[in-house]
Structures are given as C-alpha cells and as structure tokens.
Chain A
Amino acid sequence: MTRPSPFSVRGRRALMVMRDEREISIVRRQLSRLGMTIAEHDPAEAPPDENADVVVMDADSIPIKSDLATAWKAGAPIIALIGTETPSRLKWLLDLQPASFLVKPLQSAGLYTALVVAFDSAQRRIDETAHLERLEDRIRSRRVVFAAVLQIMRAHDLSESDAFRLIRQTAMRHRTTIEQLSAEIIAAGGMPNRTSWTA
C-alpha cells in the first residue's frame, strides 16, 4: 500500500468540532480552498461513528472534567485550537495527544501547516506502533528461541552458540525468522523436516 503524502490534503475528510461561528467560518474557508471534505460536530456530543481523516477541535469548547476527551483520543489525528494556555487546560490537551495545534485567534495562514504536521505525525505514530509491536513480538518469542536452542543443544550435542548459529542459518536458508523456526522446532520436537519447507 502506498502511503498518502502528508502534503496532499485534497479529498481528505475533516471534522470540525468547534463552537465559535467566526472561527468555524475561517477554518471552513481554508479547508474548502484545500479541497477537503468538511463535516461539523457539536463539541457537547460524543464523537460520531463515521470516520474522519483529521479532527479540528476547539480545545476550549470541551469542559476539562468530562469523559469526552478519552473518546476522541482513539480516533483520527486531532488539530487542537488553543485559546486558554492555563496548565490545567494544557494538561487536558496533552492527555488528548493532539497531532498538531493552532493558537487562536485563527487566521488564514497556519492551517495547512497544522494539517501537514497532523497527517505526518499520525503516519509516524502508526509506523512506530507497528514497529513496537514487532519488537514486542520478538521479546515475547525469546523464551521460544531459548527453548529451541536448548533442544538443539541436547539433540545434537552442540554448544549454545553453535546451536543458535545452526538455527539462524537454517532460518535464513528457508527464508523464515528465527522466532518462527524456533516455534517449529519445539512443535516438531527437533529440527523440522526440511523437504516440507518452501525454499
């Protein structure tokens, strides 16, 4: 899948969660100029079901002591519009993990930068999450690898480093991962039958 460039915003869907009519008209005009699809949502309501690619949210429009923030957090990247810079409000905002922000009063300049930064940091967040998941998988499978190494050491009377080298070379030859091969070794009670491997 090719990733959309953060610079191309045309056709993406923006959800405006804002209260102030003047600010809404400024954001709406800019989003239209950029060719984005625009929807509006009442800040007092829970997040809607339909997906948006980015949420433009007036941070001052949602009370600090409400559960709405966590509901928004799970969805599309958020551009926070900041009016009040009190630490109590900023703490609330940090919990929301906005992808980018704009400081009020709004003007025509700045929104495009905020969108690009939001799309870019959202993509980075997805990449980093995937990377973390891969690393965590590998950590979880360390026990499996260790058990496989022990099995090969015992079966072939090898040292630990030789057993590991054998597993690594076999995995490379069969174009699989050490973790996957280790799982096979444990399942088969020894080095699996090589002819069954697609190599």
Chain B
Amino acid sequence: MMAGEMRKSALMAIDEVNRSDEFDFTFTPHLRDPGGVVAAYHTACDDLIREEQVDHIVGCYTSASRKQVIPIVERTERLLWHPARYEGFESSDNVIYVGAAPNHNVVPLVRHMLDQVSSDVFCIGSNYVWTWETNRVIREIVTSAGGRILAERLLELGETAVDHIVREIIDRKPPAVFNTLVGESSYVFVRALHEAMIRARLTIPMLSCSLCEPELKLIGPAASVGYITSSAYFESIERPENRAFVARWKAGHGADSSPSVDGLSTYVCVMLLARAIRRAGSTDVGAVRRAAANHRYDSPQGPVWVDPDNNHCFLTPRLARSVPGCQFKIFWEADAPVRPDPYLSNLDLTAVGTRLERSNDAMTKRSSHLRIVK
C-alpha cells in the first residue's frame, strides 16, 4: 500500500512543480516499480541512471531496498531522496533522508510513555531490522528509567497468526503495548486485540510509531481508535500549508482518501529537490546538495530543511491519539523543528527521568520540553 501512496504523492508534487510559475523548469518522471523485490531495486536504479540518465531518484520504503540503491548512487554520484522514516545509523553523502530519524520518531513516544502511561511495556513487532532497532532503543530508554520490557514478541513479515500473542496480552494485562508490527500483521493484530479487550472488558494503552491515516481505515473505524502514535505528519495538522495540501489531495484522490506520513514525505522530497535545483540553477548533484543544505521549506508538516552535517532533515516530532473517523488528534508537538540525530549520539539517558510513580501525579511530572497543542 505504501508504495502506491508514495508514488501518488510524488506525482502530485511533480505536477504542482510543473504547473507552478515559481519554477522555470519542469520534471519528467521516470517510474520504476521493483515491487518490493529487494534485488530488483539495484537493477531498477541502474536502469534509471544508465538508460534514462536521471540525476535524482526519489523512493525506497524499506531499508533493505535503500541498501541496494546506495552503492549505485554513491558510485555514479547521484542523489537518492529517501522519504521513509527508518531506524537510523546510516549517513550517505548520496542520500537525502527526508523521513524521521529515530530521535524524531521513537524517542518522543517512549518518553511520553514513561511520563504519562507506564514504565513497563509489552513489545510486539515484525521480525526485521526496524523492529529490532526500535526495540533496542525502547529497551535502553525504559530500563535506564527503571522500567521493564515485559515481553518482546516477534512475527515474521506478513504473518497473520496473532491469536497466541493476543491471548498472552489478555492474560498478562500489561500496562502498555508497544506495536512495531508493519502491514497486514499489524492490521490483523490491532483488530484481534481490540475484540479481545472488549470481551475481557480491558483497556490497555497501545503505542505505535508507524500507524498512519490510510492504515486506520484498513484496520477499521472501531478497532483503530485509541492508539498513541508518533509521527512527523498527521492529516490533522492545523497549518494553512497543510489544510491547502489536504484539500488538493482530496480533490485529486477522492474526498474519502487521506494522505499519509510516507506519502507526504515523498511530496516533501520532490519539493525540496525542486527548490534546491532552483537555488542551484542546475541539476548537478554537488550543486543541488549544497543548495538543499539549510534551505528552509514551509511544508504541510511545517518547516523542513536538510542538515548538511548528516543529510537528514530537521522535522517537527508530534504525538497524537487515533480517534473515531480514522483520524489522529495531536496532543503534543515539539516547539520547533528538531535537529536529526541518526546515530542517537545526543540521546541523554540520564535526562529521561526515573520510574513513574504509581500515584496519579503523572501530570505534575510532565517534562518542561512538552507543550500542549489544542
């Protein structure tokens, strides 16, 4: 599903650039669809560079596909504009990382969990690099705050046999469930846990750092409610740039459709690229990279710019709760765009705080870096 959302968003941005008077050039998209087959990304990328002579490539959702493409863009001195959030610990001169780094995505959610929900957590995720690394970060932060990882359950990608884990959760009644499942596994799990909690008359807080609006629709209107979610973009962001973007999106893709964080991020990739080319006066990779550095773009998700230290983007982390209507209600956002920290070099575990008291004084423990948004 995500690949389709990202392609739609890229084409929408290209169309806007081509019709805009602000740019004295037009983009010609060359589309390739490796279809999630990891080895095919290398071939597709090689073909784009050799046959179509493209200088800039927008795409790749998974880290496995990105790792296929990086050797080619590095060897041929091209730029990959990468929209997806990922687990960090990478920084190539030939990639512009537009998705959230772990300090934008995982860290604020775990902090919120420790401050407001629980210091003990049950983790469930898909058996691949993003979950492994996200769980490691969760474990590091939680244990340094005196909390516990109650369980770490992994399902193979695409696995939909979730009943044994749902049963374990209902039996053990953990104070929080952290879900890093992706795709169909996640939708099936969320629905099954929702039904089981209703039967058992239980309410267990659930957290995710990947759910987006189109996925809430796939899960269903009832089961998708109540997820505490971390993201740099939600459809409900109240900014004029976003209201206009959402209106354009719905005009193009139907009033019932919703943009997603990965789609929006792909849109931002194209816009950052267009603005950097305009500033550089050329599509030359070196010139575009220099022009993109620190060049602020007021995007639908707020101001975004590339940090030339690591080629990742300054983004505004947000936390929201999923509400009826397959939407997210934002309850916290950072005061300003946050510097990307792909290696979590600046994660100060001593500042995370101590174990959550069992009393109800959680509100008084609210950290000073949190700000309520209406």
Residues on B with beta carbons closer than 8 Å to the beta carbon of A64: 132
CB distance from B353 to the nearest CB of A (A): 22
The verdict on A86 contacting B132 (CB below 8 Å), with A21-B39, A22-B42 known, is yes
Residues of B within 8 A of A85 (CB): 89-90
Interface size class of A (residues with CB under 8 A): 10 to 19
| Bound: A91/B129 CA distance, A | 13
Question: Given the interface contacts A86-B129, A89-B129, does A20 sit within 8 Å of B39 by beta carbon?
Answer: yes
Closest Cβ of chain B to A121, distance in Å, is 25
Question: Of B127, B129, B135, which contacts A84 at CB under 8 A?
Answer: B129
**A65-B127, A65-B154 are known contacts. Are A88 and B135 too (CB-CB below 8 A)?**
yes
Contact of A83 among B67, B127, B135, B136 (CB under 8 A): B67
Q: Given A22, A83, A88, A105, which contacts B133 in the complex, CB threshold below 8 Å?
A: A88
Interface positions of B from 47 to 65, Cβ below 8 Å from A: 63-64
- In the complex the two chains form, what is the Cα distance from A89 to B90 in whole Å? 13
**Cα A63 to Cα B74 with chains together (Å):** 27
Q: Residue of B at shortest CB range from A21?
A: B39
Contact of A63 with B127 in the complex, beta carbons under 8 Å? yes
> For this complex, into which size category does the number of interface residues on chain B fall?
20 to 34
Q: What B residues does A104 contact at CB under 8 A?
A: 67, 71
A86 touches B88 (CB 8 A): yes
Q: Cα distance A65–B153 when bound, in Å? A: 10
Chain A nearest CB from B79 CB (Å) reads 17
Q: Identify the A interface with B (CB < 8 A).
A: 20-22, 60, 63-65, 83-89, 91, 104-105
Footprint of A on B, CB under 8 Å? 39, 42, 63-64, 67, 70-71, 74, 87-90, 127-129, 132-133, 135-136, 154
Interchain Cβ contacts under 8 Å between A and B, 13 examples:
A60-B129, A64-B132, A65-B132, A84-B89, A85-B90, A86-B88, A86-B133, A86-B136, A88-B132, A88-B133, A88-B136, A104-B67, A105-B71
